[in-house]
């Protein structure tokens, strides 16, 4: 029988990916929950993944550019949620210092194995 796991965000070490972007991760069998910390001006470059993504902004604001041509713009503010379907190209910019929760199904393997180099660029 599977066993429930209990976590406290305060006990999870924050991984600093670049000077403007950090995260904490909790991973279950089928889903990943992440707390993301972005400084104003932080850019998450255009990318896509096979994972469905749900972004819930707790504090601050993110501007997303969506689609192959990046022409659809959505600004997500505190208390708002954006659902990004699998394989939809997207990028984001922190319009303010921002904290959000990202949920992925299935868990992001590139985040777990450290092959997420698009986030680790220190030239931001």
Q: Mind listing the domains of the chain with CATH numbers?
A: 18-116 (2.60.120.10)
Given a cut of 90, whether residue 113 has pLDDT beyond it is yes
Q: How far apart are CA 6 and CA 60, in angstroms?
A: 27
The pLDDT score that the predictor gives to residue 46 is 96
Given a cut of 90, whether residue 100 has pLDDT beyond it is yes
Q: How far apart are CA 96 and CA 71, in angstroms?
A: 21
Give the pLDDT band (50/70/90) at residue 120.
Answer: confident
DSSP, residue by residue, 67-108: STT--EEEEEETT-EEEE-TT--EEEEESSSEEEEEEEES--
* Overall average pLDDT of the 81-102 stretch: 98
The pLDDT score that the predictor gives to residue 122 is 52
What's the half-sphere exposure (Cβ side, CA atoms, 13 Å) at 44? 24
Q: How far apart are CA 16 and CA 69, in angstroms?
A: 30
Q: How far apart are CA 16 and CA 64, in angstroms?
A: 22
């Amino acid at each position: 029988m599977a066993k429930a796991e209990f976590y406290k965000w305060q006990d999870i070490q924050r991984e600093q990916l670049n000077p403007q972007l950090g995260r904490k991760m909790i991973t279950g069998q089928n889903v990943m929950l992440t707390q993301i910390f972005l400084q104003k001006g932080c850019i998450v470059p255009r990318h896509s993944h096979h994972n469905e993504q749900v972004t819930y902004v707790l504090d601050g604001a993110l501007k997303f550019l969506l689609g192959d041509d990046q022409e659809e713009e959505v600004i997500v503010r505190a208390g708002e949620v954006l659902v990004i379907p699998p394989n939809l190209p997207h990028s984001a910019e922190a319009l303010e210092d921002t904290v959000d929760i990202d949920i992925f199904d299935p868990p992001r393997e590139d985040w777990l194995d450290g092959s997420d180099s698009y986030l680790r660029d220190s030239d931001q």
